Amino acid sequence: MEIDQTTLQDLSIFNADEANAVFELFSGCLTINGRDQLRKNLQTPLSELDAILGVQNTLKQLIPHTRNWPAQISNGTIKVIERFYESAIDPLPATVSSLNAYSYKLLHGPDYSLIKYTMVHCFDFIKGMQWFVESLNTEKPSAPLVKWLKQADAYLQQDAFAVISKKTHSAELLAHEMLQLGMFIRHRFKHQMAGLLQLHAQLDAWYGMATAIQKYQLIFPDFKESLAPHFIMEGLYHPLLANPVSYDIQLNHQKNFLFLTGANMAGKSTFIKSVGIAVFLAHAGMGVPAVKMELSLFDGILSNINVQDNLAKGESYFFNEVQRIKATISKINDGRKWLILIDELFKGTNVQDAMKCSSLVIEGLMKIRNSLFILSTHLYEIGEDLKVHPNIQFSYFETAVNGDQLVFPYQLRTGISDDRFGYLILKKEGVVHLLNSL
């Protein structure tokens, strides 16, 4: 599925402030390599149904194993193995015996210590990978796991590793066995070790996803093959909020455009991002933050949420809004299935101009029936003229007033909002009093 960096940032999939990124939900990866692999996986969500279902089935099969996951393969273990190939050490004996192992220890003490320290970690790593191959192959594995198991088993079928299979702990290795293993791994297994480390990184990435599904009680979405895009979401919520409010939303070919209104702070942006995050995670094979979700495959997601001006280039906020809309229209006018998310269109110009521009853009976008659109706006007035279009639906987030306090229930209602609370907010925050006191 196609997604650009702007959309990834708009949806907070990745963020400079990592604590507020969806990616951080999967921080259960045990190694940096696994974390890096997960980042790569999420940067390229999947576009084929078989691939998505393959990841879903892989995660379902890994979840029961997470409680018994080998703890000996740590980030430190991975780093020690990688550095072993970068370290300069005196040559090892061509044939290692008890006698020349003792001589090497005596004459090359620092190098012997380095090899011994590294082999402790190599032993743990190989032992752990052997456990994965044995444990994950006891049931009918998913297609990705079949491929993973075949590759891992091919790397592990080495005569030199028989000594690891026979022993429980690295401390049981005799000096000559340890040096023999070190010589093999350093000189005859470098390429294979790189492949084995990469396989572990992918497995660790899946582990991070599997543990997140359990921790946050995510559900796997149900994909339905369809020529036209659609989704049905029940109990959808934003995964980064501590106490989120849930939503129910449905868009399809008959109603493919959602016109969303409501006061500032009423919840429009959070809702739009929640939809985008759920569709994104679904196409990564992940669980989603909802009670139930059904959707078609999408070819891409594009957003227009956090547009910025560019002082260095002398580009105004409005100019960049226009450029983003232009790029979006050019991209989605190709017959493919897109999800388009637009929050508060044309904030960078005056109200009259914004109304004219917004109406023009909305009227044009509604001609594209093979994509789904969610567009929020504070320009409630343009909604009346749009009611003549059968493929548009209207929803809003209501705002209640309790005395002089605004109350935001964050509930999605049918219709167009007419809330105008700017003056009340100014008064509540004491700005009116300050101005009257001047």
Q: Residues 120-134: what's their mean pLDDT?
A: 96
Residue-range domains of the chain with CATH: 31-215 (no CATH), 222-436 (3.40.50.300)
Per-residue pLDDT, 408: 77
Are 284 and 420 within 8 A, CB to CB?
no
| Range of lowest pLDDT (137-146, 198-207, 262-271, 357-366) | 262-271
Cβ burial, residue 64 (10 Å; 0-12/13-18/19+): exposed
pLDDT for 70 beyond 70: yes
Read off the pLDDT of residues 394-416 as tens digits, 9 standing for 90 and up: 999 988 777 667 777 788 899 99
> What count of other Cβ atoms lies within 10 Å of the Cβ of residue 244?
15
Q: Which residues contact 429 (CB under 8 A, 6 or more apart)?
A: none
Q: Residues 5-10: what's their mean pLDDT?
A: 92
Per-residue pLDDT, 133: 95
Backbone angles phi, psi at 236, to 5 degrees: -70, 140
Q: What percentage of the chain has pLDDT greater than the value 70?
A: 95
Q: Which of 49-58, 95-104, 136-145, 419-428 has the highest mean pLDDT?
A: 49-58
* In 206-255, beta strands by DSSP E: 222-223, 231-236, 247-251
Q: Residues 154-161: what's their mean pLDDT?
A: 95
Q: What percentage of the chain has pLDDT greater than the value 90?
A: 71
Per-residue pLDDT, 71: 85
Q: Residues 327-350: what's their mean pLDDT?
A: 88
Residue 422: pLDDT band (50, 70, 90) is low
Residues in the chain: 438
Angle in degrees, CA 400, 235, 275, rounded to 5: 85
pLDDT for 310 beyond 60: no
Per-residue pLDDT, 359: 92
Per-residue pLDDT, 126: 97
Read off the pLDDT of residues 83-123 as tens digits, 9 standing for 90 and up: 999 999 988 877 788 888 889 899 999 999 999 999 999 99
Of residues 1 and 349, the one with the higher pLDDT is 1
For residues 184 and 159, what is the distance between their CA atoms, to the nearest angstrom? Answer: 10
Cβ burial, residue 388 (10 Å; 0-12/13-18/19+): exposed
Read off the pLDDT of residues 227-267 as tens digits, 9 standing for 90 and up: 999 999 999 999 999 999 999 999 999 999 999 998 777 78
pTM of the model: 0.91
Are 220 and 290 within 8 A, CB to CB?
no
Per-residue pLDDT, 367: 92
